[in-house]
């Protein structure tokens, strides 16, 4: 993690990437840039079962980037790379996986597509929505989603292959930023920063969902932020998946239920449902919002069963209809056993064990729901209370969509002419820039508000004599 960065090695490891090399199929990888990239790996930011994430400096430009290193198996696809490259890049990008070749020079020279999004210019002066109607600046990449800057493979000391994914670097994540406020005895983030954070989260999710992608691991540590500029980017697409459109009766594609970090896991996942959709991301976003408002995790269970019990304590007993909406198999087993004091029959391997465990604490189902204004801190604004309540609902289809979240009155303040960060700095311009796709999908009135807010932010930057400071690194 950025806050716990430590040296990657006594001497920075250097990866020298030759842009002039070719695809395995023989096509030119140069793309006319003629550039070579040399990455100096400086600090370890985080480790996990997935591999390691490091902070690096691009020697040719001086830019700071994040480099994710994972074991590479040429027989398998890396889901995160495929999503970032083929589904979340500019519409014109469609590169193929790459293979490495060692060099004898002492540094590692590898084949790569060296597709740097730095070379894509912003497109301003876009066609107006209506006569004399302001429009936001159109950008090639979504400003609230981490960008794939480069990717390549290289050989390790024992001949093993590693995949390197180069992405945007931001110094903190929301979990770390929240802890900073706690250490400063402020207990919670300023409400304006909460609104800025959640607006960018909702924008990222709305864009993902419009492209059929479910993130499946929304949590504070996957929300990268620059506290000086307010720029936020959703990261870590290792669990993300392109989902099939739901059918008339709901999701029809079978997925794994053991997904998403426990504190942010939707109740349908806790009940073992294998048929779910984008709604799980909105539940997680609601948990993040409540956490930022409260200053602590809302549902903090020590196990899967405890997690569901913590949800019961706040949302109360789910009705029969809600149980069936979450997972019909688990619901049938629970209701049957509770009425006759019987053990749960093994209806399916996915739900039987889960349901049996929940029966041990079935008394929790008799708890009545609490009012959200009694759960959240005193004097929490009604709009904030409303948004939490509209996201944290048992029935998945009743939760707001990410696009609907963007239209919520909770965010009205960020469009004000005098809106600013808690430090007094202007709001990040990137928060109001849009992709060409969003120009077609977002409501006209929201686009107009975003265009005006972008103009306010740019003017404040110019007045401060520091135009461009709050722009994300290009």
Supply the pLDDT for residue 11: 52
Are residues 191 and 123 part of one domain?
no
Residue 107: pLDDT over 80: no
CB 234 within 8 A of CB 204: yes
Supply the pLDDT for residue 48: 78
Are residues 227 and 91 part of one domain?
no
Supply the pLDDT for residue 9: 47
In-domain check, residue 422: no
pLDDT digits (tens, 9 = 90+) for 55-74: 999 998 999 999 999 998 76
CB 177 within 8 A of CB 189: yes
Are residues 186 and 163 part of one domain?
no
pLDDT digits (tens, 9 = 90+) for 315-334: 998 888 888 788 876 655 55
Query: Percent of the chain having pLDDT more than 70?
Result: 71
Indicate the pLDDT class of residue 110, thresholds 50, 70 and 90.
very low
pLDDT digits (tens, 9 = 90+) for 223-267: 999 999 999 999 999 899 998 887 656 666 667 767 778 999 999
In-domain check, residue 153: yes
Are residues 246 and 121 part of one domain?
no
136's enclosing H/E stretch is: none
Supply the pLDDT for residue 370: 93
- Distance, in Å, from the CA atom of 205 to the CA atom of 333, rounded to the nearest integer, reads 34
In-domain check, residue 400: yes
Supply the pLDDT for residue 213: 96
Tokens coding 414? 């960020």
Residue 25: pLDDT over 50: no
Positive or negative, the Cα torsion across 195, 201, 205, 208?
A: positive
Nearest to 111 by CA among 169, 45, 28: 28
Tokens coding 435? 């992709």
- Please identify every residue annotated as catalytic: 217
Q: Between 471 and 189, whose confidence is greater? A: 189
Are residues 150 and 9 part of one domain?
yes
In-domain check, residue 443: no
Indicate the pLDDT class of residue 52, thresholds 50, 70 and 90.
very high
Indicate the pLDDT class of residue 380, thresholds 50, 70 and 90.
very high
Domain boundary residue, one of 363, 382, 411: 411
- Total domain count, the chain: 2
Residue 186: pLDDT over 80: no
In-domain check, residue 346: yes
Could you list the residue range(s) of the whole structural domain that residue 34 is in? 2-131+143-168
- Which of 114-118, 443-447, 469-473 is the least confident region? 114-118
In-domain check, residue 450: no
Domain CATH for 283: 1.10.510.10
Are residues 247 and 213 part of one domain?
yes
Supply the pLDDT for residue 341: 42
Are residues 102 and 211 part of one domain?
no
| Average pLDDT of the residues in 294-317 | 92
Are residues 148 and 111 part of one domain?
yes
**Residue 430 CB neighbours (<10 A):** 23
Supply the pLDDT for residue 472: 45
**Residue 3 CB neighbours (<10 A):** 13
Residue 18: pLDDT over 70: no
Domain CATH for 111: 3.30.200.20
Indicate the pLDDT class of residue 166, thresholds 50, 70 and 90.
very high
Q: Between 358 and 209, whose confidence is greater? A: 209
Nearest to 120 by CA among 147, 96, 146: 147
Supply the pLDDT for residue 344: 38
Indicate the pLDDT class of residue 296, thresholds 50, 70 and 90.
very high
Are residues 119 and 47 part of one domain?
yes
Q: Between 429 and 132, whose confidence is greater? A: 429
Nearest to 59 by CA among 19, 89, 17: 17
- Which of 46-55, 98-107, 237-246, 401-410 is the least confident region? 98-107
CA distances from 210 to 313, 421, 464 (A): 34, 29, 37
Are residues 181 and 71 part of one domain?
no
Supply the pLDDT for residue 120: 34
| Average pLDDT of the residues in 338-367 | 47
Residue 76: pLDDT over 80: no
Q: Is 68 annotated as a binding residue?
A: no
Residue 14: pLDDT over 80: no
Are residues 49 and 116 part of one domain?
yes
Nearest to 78 by CA among 198, 11, 161, 193: 161
Indicate the pLDDT class of residue 473, thresholds 50, 70 and 90.
very low
Q: How many CA atoms lie within 13 A of 347 on its CB side?
A: 19
| Average pLDDT of the residues in 22-43 | 56
State the burial class of residue 82 (Cβ atoms within 10 Å of its Cβ: 0-12, 13-18, 19+): middle
Supply the pLDDT for residue 300: 95
Are residues 163 and 177 part of one domain?
no
Indicate the pLDDT class of residue 90, thresholds 50, 70 and 90.
confident
Domain boundary residue, one of 390, 411, 432: 411
Print burial letters for 239-265: b (CB count within 10 Å at least 16), e (below 16). Answer: bbbebeebeeeebeeebebebbbbbbb
CB 63 within 8 A of CB 36: no
Query: Percent of the chain having pLDDT more than 90?
Result: 53
Supply the pLDDT for residue 27: 35
Residue 21: pLDDT over 50: no
Tokens coding 145? 């989603």
Tokens coding 451? 């265009």
Supply the pLDDT for residue 324: 79
In-domain check, residue 262: yes
- Which of 164-173, 265-274, 349-358 is the least confident region? 349-358
In-domain check, residue 82: yes
Domain boundary residue, one of 411, 444, 459: 411
Residue 444: pLDDT over 70: yes
Please state the three-class secondary structure of 81-114 as a single string.
HHHHHHHCCCCCCCCCCCCCCCCCCCCEEECECC
Nearest to 323 by CA among 283, 300, 302, 351: 351
């Amino acid at each position: 993690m950025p806050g716990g960065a430590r040296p990657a090695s006594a001497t920075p490891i250097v990866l020298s990437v030759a842009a002039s090399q070719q695809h395995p199929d023989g096509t030119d990888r140069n793309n006319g840039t003629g550039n070579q990239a040399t990455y100096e790996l400086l600090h370890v930011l985080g480790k996990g079962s997935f591999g390691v994430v490091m902070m690096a400096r691009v020697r040719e430009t001086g830019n700071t980037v994040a480099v994710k290193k994972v074991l590479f198996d040429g027989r398998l696809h890396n889901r995160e790379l495929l999503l970032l490259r083929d589904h979340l890049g500019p519409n014109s990008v469609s590169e193929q996986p790459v293979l490495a070749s060692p060099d004898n020079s002492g540094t590692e020279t590898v084949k790569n597509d060296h597709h740097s999004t730095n070379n894509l210019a912003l497109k301003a002066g876009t066609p107006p929505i209506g006569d004399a109607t302001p429009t936001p600046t159109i950008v090639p990449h979504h400003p609230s989603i981490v960008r794939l800057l480069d990717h390549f493979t290289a050989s390790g000391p024992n001949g093993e292959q590693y995949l390197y994914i180069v992405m945007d670097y931001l110094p903190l994540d929301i979990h770390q930023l929240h802890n900073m406020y706690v250490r400063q005895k402020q207990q919670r983030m300023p409400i304006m920063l909460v609104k800025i954070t959640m607006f960018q989260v909702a924008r990222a999710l709305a864009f993902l969902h419009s492209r059929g992608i479910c993130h499946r691991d929304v949590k504070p540590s996957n929300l990268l932020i620059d506290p000086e500029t307010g720029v936020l980017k959703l990261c870590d697409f290792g669990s993300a998946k392109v989902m099939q459109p739901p059918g008339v009766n709901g999701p029809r594609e079978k997925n794994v239920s053991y997904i998403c970090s426990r504190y942010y896991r939707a109740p349908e996942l806790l009940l073992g449902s294998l048929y779910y959709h984008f709604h799980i991301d909105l539940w997680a976003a609601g948990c993040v919002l409540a956490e930022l408002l409260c200053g602590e995790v809302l549902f903090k269970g020590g196990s899967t069963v405890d997690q569901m019990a913590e949800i019961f304590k706040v949302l109360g007993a789910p009705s029969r209809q809600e149980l069936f909406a979450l997972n019909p198999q688990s619901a049938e087993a629970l209701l049957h056993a509770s009425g006759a004091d019987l053990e749960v029959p093994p209806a399916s391997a996915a739900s039987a064990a889960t349901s049996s465990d929940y029966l041990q604490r079935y008394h929790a189902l008799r708890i009545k729901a609490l009012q959200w204004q009694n759960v959240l801190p005193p004097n929490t604004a009604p709009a904030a209370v409303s948004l939490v309540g509209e996201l944290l609902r048992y029935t998945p289809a009743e939760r707001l969509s990410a696009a609907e979240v963007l239209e919520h009155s909770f965010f009205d303040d960020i469009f004000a002419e005098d809106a600013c960060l808690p430090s007094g700095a202007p709001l990040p311009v990137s928060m109001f820039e849009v992709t060409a796709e969003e120009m077609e999908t977002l409501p006209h009135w929201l686009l107009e508000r975003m265009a005006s807010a972008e103009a306010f932010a740019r003017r404040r930057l110019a007045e401060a004599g520091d135009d461009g400071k709050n722009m994300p690194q290009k």
